Chain A
């Protein structure tokens, strides 16, 4: 990183003109780099900063004042937004979201890993056709299966419950994650698994004790993606859930947006700020593993 060596820095007084020039140039180039990075970073983050700033504005100020610093900061948006126009507070909607996300993320991780393991490590009759089906599902837009799925869940009697939202994931319904894990597994050498087999482990034990630890970074990515997508999913809950008391955050946020009525943007913005907080928190907590996974994966390759 630095252009100076320890010998040179200890003898500050004895720097030659050339070294001084080098040092200055390094400083200038670092300054320029940081200024550009900070400016671009700020530009990218601006919508987010504006969102947070605007959530403290009054509704009329949001359109009058384009800057992000509120002239008269108010918590009104948070207080009124939290109360909502329903008999429930936003806490209820956060809890509902959690009730969907928790089983969905958990079962996605388990089922997608098992299915990926099967596809990546075993030969069985019909494997090619099944794999082709998996890819076909991947390419199929979600929307086209909505009505048949809706009819299916209606006949099972699961409408207006959280089950249709997470049960498909418990059977590796998310083809993308299975595909992602298969690709990751293909890059992992089989040596350790073979060693485990020699030591007498069966397939399941190999999966749990050898494959899963190796796959950990990929599984964490799967969980993160599933968390974010579920948090943002609007159409699924919209269609399957009809009781207001079971609404997740994504539905609740749009609850007051109508076309014929002007609405209180500051409440919606305030609740949006709260809604992105868990996603950010989860990402920062998982970031260590996430980054670790990417770098260690690179070394192994």
Chain B
């Protein structure tokens, strides 16, 4: 046994793997399927390159706290799964994580598109490799639209027009869309982007980009949706217990026929449906818009610790997980459709990707729109948008007041950076 290990080590050394056997830690969050897939990936990649991998994983809740403490104490894992919006929190100037551009000889960076790499580059340093690119699109339950004798909407006007006939035919508890909670603020950004070609936050000036009038227009569009019965009103949804859509019996029964969510969450929403079939519908155009206003981001990135003693070994393993056949097969789609083109091709060739996932992901990747600032995902910015829209939905403030509040409060948060 001992001899064979030694022999193996010798062989590995002779073959010329750059780094010596190192003990590496990798941390991530996720659910059961991601845990199993990533542990498997680490096992095969660790064995392939002769490193000992120590997985460290948790559920979602508390992971930000854990990572913050570890980064503050300099004890973070060598390879980390980092949420894309956290990058500016930990590495505003790009020095918080290792610059992957310097590891270009080990990691095949050509697998990622320039846009993907740009989204995780801070201060000219590549801080992370996107695991997948994800974006918000409309999903509709085709069965419900068929039952109502309606075509699946392709523009916002058609969506609005579908509400009345659907209710008439199937009952007042039917809605063509479910837009409640934080989805409202994300959806509004799509309307603003389509109307004006502006993202919510301008990274150059670090200010809210749209003017108050432009925000008011989008907020009023939301009010119109509620008024026309396109979506349940926020207070009503809250009164019903704020049930998550995928756990909502009305969703399973097809009474709620649409949603505006991340393309990567397809199975979460399609699995519970017992009546009908969920299909991706891309982005619905607003009259007169010249772009799709897509809200697209790297769902999460893999970063290497700036304090790691084995940066090169970590890079070898990371490349294996994302770009080498063994790693790709093990990791599969546990983090959505891989952003690495090599991985995407391998999984597609082996039939590991369901057609509808590719279709939805392509809708996101092909859609046009202004660049989404990472600060749009800043926890404080998100809560400002959500809270303000909630006040508006409850009739506590007018659309003008809401727009003013959003601009003032978001600018205040941005001033700190």
Contact = CB atoms under 8 A, between A and B. Distances in A.
A174 interface: no
A86 interface: yes
A242 interface: yes
Contacts of B247: 63
A255 interface: yes
A263 B32 CA distance: 8
B39 interface: yes
A242 B56 contact: yes
B72 interface: yes
A238 B32 contact: no
B35 A242 contact: no
B27 interface: yes
B59 A239 contact: no
A243 interface: yes
Contact of B30 (A238, A261, A262): A261
B272 interface: yes
Contacts, number: 96
A146 interface: yes
Contacts of B25: 242
B61 A257 contact: yes
Contact of B272 (A63, A147, A255): A63
Given A63-B247, A262-B267, A256 B75 contact: no
Contacts of B264: 260
- The listed residue with most A CB atoms (<10 A of its CB), out of B29, B30, B55, B77, is B30
A243 B69 contact: no
A248 B319 CA distance: 32
A184 interface: no
A235 B75 CA distance: 17
A150 B59 CA distance: 21
Interface in B18-72: 25, 27, 29-36, 39, 54-62, 65-66, 69-70, 72
B57 A258 contact: no
A135 interface: no
Contact of B262 (A87, A260, A264): A260
A239 B246 contact: no
A261 B34 contact: yes
B66 A239 contact: yes
A86 B65 contact: no
A150 B25 CA distance: 19
Contact of A255 (B27, B35, B249): B35
Given A63-B247, A239-B69, A260-B268, A254 B62 contact: yes
Contacts of A13: none
B246 A262 contact: yes
Contact of A244 (B29, B56, B69, B252): B56
A163 interface: no
A257 B60 contact: yes
A258 B265 contact: no
Nearest to A143: B65
Contacts of B299: 260
A159 interface: yes
A261 B31 contact: yes
Nearest to B57: A244
B31 A263 contact: yes
Contacts of B65: 235, 238-239
B271 interface: yes
B351 interface: no
Question: How many B residues touch the partner, as a band?
Answer: 35 or more
B249 A64 contact: yes
B62 A238 contact: yes
Nearest to B33: A261
Contacts of B27: 242
Contacts of A86: 35, 39
A294 interface: no
B75 A154 contact: yes
Contacts of A146: 69
A238 B66 contact: yes
B268 A244 contact: no
A287 interface: no
B73 interface: yes
Nearest to A254: B59
Given A238-B66, A239-B65, A254 B268 contact: no
Contacts of B70: 242
Contact of B268 (A64, A243, A255, A261): A261
Contacts of A244: 55-57
A151 interface: yes
A169 B74 CA distance: 26
A267 B234 CA distance: 32
Contacts of A262: 246, 267-268, 271-272
Nearest to A87: B39
Contacts of B265: 260
A80 B243 CA distance: 26
Contacts of B271: 262
A142 interface: no
19 contacts: A63-B252, A86-B39, A87-B39, A146-B69, A150-B73, A159-B75, A238-B62, A239-B65, A239-B66, A242-B75, A243-B56, A254-B59, A256-B32, A258-B60, A260-B264, A260-B265, A261-B33, A261-B34, A262-B268
Q: 10 closest A-B pairs (Cβ-Cβ)?
A: A261-B31, A258-B31, A254-B59, A85-B35, A85-B32, A257-B59, A256-B32, A262-B268, A242-B56, A238-B62
